[in-house]
Chain A
Amino acid sequence: MPSLVAYSSPLGKRKAKHLLRRACFNFSPEKIDEFAAYTPAEALSIMGVRSTAKLSEPIDPRGADWDEKHFTSSTRIDFGSQTAKRSYVAGWWWYNAFNEVSLEHKLTLFLHTCFTTSKDGGTGTSSHFYDHLKLIQLYAFQDLKTLANKITIDNAMLMYLDNNTNNRWNPNENYAREFLELFTILKGEQIAVGDYTNYTEHDVQMAAQVLTGFKNQNDRTIVDADTGLPTGYIKENHHVPDDKTFSYAFGGTVITGRNTPSGIKDEHEDFVNMIFAQDATAVSYVRKLYRFFVKSEWDAEVETDIIEPLAADLRSNGYQLLPVLTKLLASEHFYDLDDGDATDNKIGAIIKHPMQLFTEIASAFKVEIVDASLEANWEEYYLYFFRNFAHNSCFTGSGFVMFSPDSVAGYPADYQKPGYDRQWFTSATIVSRYKYMESFIAGRNLIAGWGRFVSTVDSVKYVESTISDPYDATKVVREISEYLYPEAIDADRIEYFKGFLTSGIGDVYWTGAWGDYVGGDDTTARTRLDELLIAMVNAAEFQIM
């Protein structure tokens, strides 16, 4: 029976890998060994600490002056090259996610999929998107209900779904519809014309009225005292002041219409409270959480024994995500220990997100990403490595336009039945995926443009610093596979990979090649290892987590 009982023994390597993959973006051999000794509770208490924001703000390395370089802390927003700047915002976020083991980063990405915006699709300038990202990052460790209140008046969201022009004379339903359908309670089955179980078309119209009168403040001069972040404002004469009566789906709730800025804010809070008082809202968030962190599809037992109890927790704790997620990630269920077979379920059940694949390669093979806080490295990190290689080539080429899904529903892996995460691995994405490792080894962007970057995989150094006995081809392959793959590989598979080292001649060939390296000539060892690592990364075993 699926069980939320906490697993309390040390994780060991297999379960430590599982947790690290699912909960953060750091996957180095050292981190795996370290976490193997922890119990889930110990591991999650380390991960439950906020990001230290190693990198404090994004930088435009080509900015003309101090202001443009520090475009998010500048008081100006009138800069050119906004698309590039938005990618530098993404680069700032990724750098911190890569360098830390906090749950904050995966939760931020998760919240981005819950309250979707598109950074390149109409959210204003890079500075507005930065404020938006900071907002969801802040609430990753706070409560969803307050976030739902704040997000309506977030400048980027106001622009993205046109709610800044939603007014009493001619309401625009766009934001109202998505707020119900995609961001909070979610659409249920259509049980009658215009009735989507959890809400009706009438509720969309009423919600659109509640949401009239919210305006963006383009110059970022209004700061929310709770968050310290720039926000929009309320223009009371654009708001529908009448009472709004919702359908039977919300028990016929009447939201009192108001006509002052603070009254309209209260009215919005009443509206959010009405939605978050529904069981369906809590269930919706937990289902999303389960799909994002555990697996894409589940049965009725999991719904009853895992999803529903967690949804009850979420409601009763005031919609705090962190304790609910922590409980899930510490549970016997998460580690497949709640039935007779501890090997058949969940571990290795998700196809890797492109950013997961990319980031795992970088941390598993100990890529030294240049210190992006140093001015001397700005161009190398932001432009050559992150924007040109990671963001524009690897991620985009594999169907992940970072923070810019092509529709407000988000990325297909998060919502599109029947495949869900399988959408990440299709004929349209695999050429790019297969080129990540080759590029990391070459120090060149082999997906597009051949641009150089310095943060590369050094296969020889990696093996020397990771493998217990590098002279032994079998040990090389086995130990690498133990760090990389969700499950152990069999003898046949080890033989197949070993072939890249032994070159058809035999183990002695590899032993000799490693001896040459120790003696000062790394030519053969490097060629053999480069081939091996590319094969092991492109193997099916590494495409899933």
Chain B
Amino acid sequence: MKRRNFIKLGATASAAALMPMEMMASREWESIKGCDFSKRKLVLINLDGGNDGLNTTIPLNQYDIYSTVRPTIKVPDSGLNKYITLDSGLSDNQQIGLHPALTNFKDLYDAGTMRILQGIGYPAQNKSHFASSDMYMTGNDGNSWLNGKDSGWIGRYMEQMYADELGSDYPFAVQMGNVKNSLGFHGIHEHGMNMNITNQDASGFYSVLSGLGGEAPSSIDLTTDFGIEMDYIIETDKLANIYANAISNAFNAGSNSETYPDNDLADQLKTVARMIKGGLNSKIFMVRLPGFDTHAVQLETGSGDILGRHNTLLEILNGAIGAFIADINSLGLDDEVVAITYSEFGRKVHENGNLGTDHGEVAPMFVFGKPIQGGVSGINPDLNEASEDNNWQIETVQYDYRSVFGTLLKDWMGGGDSIVDQTFFDHSNEASFNDSVVEELVQESYKIDTDCSTSINDDVLSDNANLTWFASPNPFVNELVLMSENDFEKGLIQVYNQSGQLVKATNISNSNGKVVLDLSSLANGIYTLNIQSEGMPSESIKVVKR
């Protein structure tokens, strides 16, 4: 197996060759209609290890059952460590007690800048940390590799959405808090669109790194493993130098206005805020708080003291997010930043024998920022679902994690329907996540104008106007029917993907005035069909497979 080659932008492939037609169109729309969302950022906060949702948002309507299945690790309903009642105005089945460490979350909720989404998961939950973390990054649902395997959803999104900026002097995404490069950032191709600055000194990064790797060899034989790996080293070094410059410049130009607690997550978010203030163009930031795999000592004693690892983690999270959102507001960036937490799974309803909990399925997500509609989506999970027979699991998924991320990509970041489809698509049910957006997540006033996003798909297709050939349906799923205004007998169709690679070529002949093309083997995406038929000039027609 040959390993993934690096696509060298500006060298072997130009940015233009990789640019989806969709984006050329959408940039025009931006200028025409004022749909400029280029400053918007998404901050992903990874609660690594599987956060215990039931002790984070306690289902008050079922407190009796909760305290029966969690006799020693429950958050008490009285005393100093009592949960925080989120909002007594919510309906009974939405009544939530926040873990007492989450004081800032309560304030953000009260200010209308935090939404809780209940019952996040995906159809076939995998209880392995590593498999489930990979799913959350690839867009998989546990049912089929078609839904994502070797590329990440963030990578696919960036590749499509910012295709006309590929090869720019800044990274689309910045990762911190984990030396391991996230699978989420790998696109269909290897572009190196992200920058990992874990444990690096953002201020001096460029001046330290610059030139250390020396000059690259003038020629490399890419037919050998040795050459391919050397190329990877050289390109990684080159991009790291370019991106380090952007990181250091932004960090040194930026500032913070609030005091952060002294912990690693707070440091990461502090750096994010400062770089955004300093003008870093990066779109997506990923930070991480590890340690949520609380099989043991989630609490220190079984006497309702709530102390222990889970409490410590939530205190860190609460302090870091409180400071970050306050800073974003003080820095005047509150119209530009949305943050969201995610975790690879929740934990079992029933406690284990070690003051802890084992791997579970669904868990809540928290979304923060002024552009977010405050509130609660979904209802408390039904604890009666959990029994000895199902190993004490809550299995009902109220929101697929892809619907939530997809909503943010669409309503907040401005991805059009087809970009969302190329980022996430439910191949198991042939369903588009455009049809399951969480309408109430983003404030109406911040939602990307429907003219901006819905026009994008139309724009791709409008490029097909004035052609003599016509493709239907477009977008299509498996088969495409082609018809021509002109009489034709036979010809040749070549199908190119967005990288300009020929993916299929086939001879065609007229059958009742049309040609039926089976393209079921192709991945979803935008393709260009080059049609040559006798006696007519060749035509290019753009089609969308979804």
Contacts and interface: CB of A to CB of B under 8 A. Distances in A.
A2 interface: no
Interface of A: 161-162, 165-167, 169-174, 177, 181-182, 187, 189-190, 192-194, 196, 201, 204-205, 295-299, 343-351, 397, 399, 406-409, 412, 415-419, 422-423, 425-431, 434-435, 486-487, 489-490, 492-493, 496, 535, 538-541, 543-544
A417 B352 contact: no
A344 B1 contact: no
B428 interface: no
Interface string B139-153: 000110100001100
Contacts of B243: 427
Contacts of B517: none
17 contacts: A165-B296, A165-B354, A170-B354, A171-B353, A297-B3, A347-B226, A399-B180, A406-B178, A427-B196, A427-B239, A427-B244, A428-B175, A429-B179, A430-B240, A487-B226, A492-B219, A539-B213
B289 to A, nearest CB: 12
Give chain A's interface secondary structure class: loop
A83 to B, nearest CB: 17
B431 interface: no
Given A190-B143, A427-B244, 11 more contacts: A173-B359, A187-B128, A344-B223, A348-B226, A351-B232, A406-B178, A426-B236, A426-B240, A430-B237, A431-B205, A492-B217
B150 A418 contact: yes
Closest 3 interchain pairs by CB? A170-B353, A348-B226, A349-B225
Nearest to A486: B226
Contacts of B226: 347-349, 486-487, 544
Contact of B358 (A174, A419, A429): A174
A190 B359 CA distance: 16
Contacts of B223: 344
A487 B224 CA distance: 11
A143 to B, nearest CB: 27
A517 to B, nearest CB: 24
Contact of A297 (B1, B195, B356): B1
Contacts of A399: 179-180
B233 A543 contact: yes
B108 to A, nearest CB: 29
Nearest to A409: B130
A490 B181 CA distance: 33
Interface stretch (B119-127, B157-165, B409-417): B119-127
Nearest to A238: B353
Contacts of A486: 226
A190 B195 contact: no
A172 B225 contact: no
B12 interface: no
B130 A174 contact: no
Interface in B172-212: 175, 178-181, 183, 186, 195-200, 205, 208-209, 212
A98 B242 CA distance: 37
Contacts of A170: 351-354
A423 B239 CA distance: 15
B485 interface: no
A171 B359 CA distance: 12
B219 A428 contact: no
A172 B1 contact: no
A431 B234 contact: no
Contacts of B232: 351, 422, 425
A349 B229 contact: yes
Given A427-B200, A428-B197, A541-B217, A345 B233 contact: no
Contacts of A425: 232-233, 236
Nearest to B205: A431
B126 A162 contact: no
A177 B179 contact: no
A515 to B, nearest CB: 27
A475 B129 CA distance: 53
A206 to B, nearest CB: 11
B131 interface: yes
Contacts of B131: 187, 190
A193 B121 CA distance: 13
A430 B236 contact: yes
Given A162-B356, A172-B358, A428 B233 contact: no
Contacts of A181: 128, 130
Nearest to B149: A417
Contacts of A489: 217
A295 B229 CA distance: 11
Contact of A431 (B3, B209, B224, B295): B209
B217 A423 contact: no
A399 B199 CA distance: 10
Contacts of B128: 177, 181, 187, 196
Q: Which of A167, A177, A343, A426: most chain B Cβ within 10 A?
A: A426
A406 B130 contact: no
Contacts of B391: 201, 205
B216 interface: yes
Contacts of A193: 124-125, 142
A93 to B, nearest CB: 22
B233 A162 contact: no
Contacts of A496: 215, 217
Nearest to A345: B225
B295 A172 contact: yes
Contacts of B150: 417-418
Q: Which of B175, B181, B218, B240: most chain A Cβ within 10 A?
A: B181
A62 B402 CA distance: 54
B148 to A, nearest CB: 12
Contacts of B179: 399, 412, 423, 426, 428-429
B214 interface: yes
Contact of A407 (B130, B151, B216, B359): B130
B230 interface: yes
Nearest to B195: A427
A427 B353 contact: no
A434 B352 contact: no
B429 to A, nearest CB: 15
A312 B181 CA distance: 35
Contact of A538 (B151, B212, B239): B212
A357 B129 CA distance: 30
A416 B182 CA distance: 9
Contacts of A172: 295-296, 352-354, 356, 358
B180 A416 contact: yes
A351 B233 contact: yes
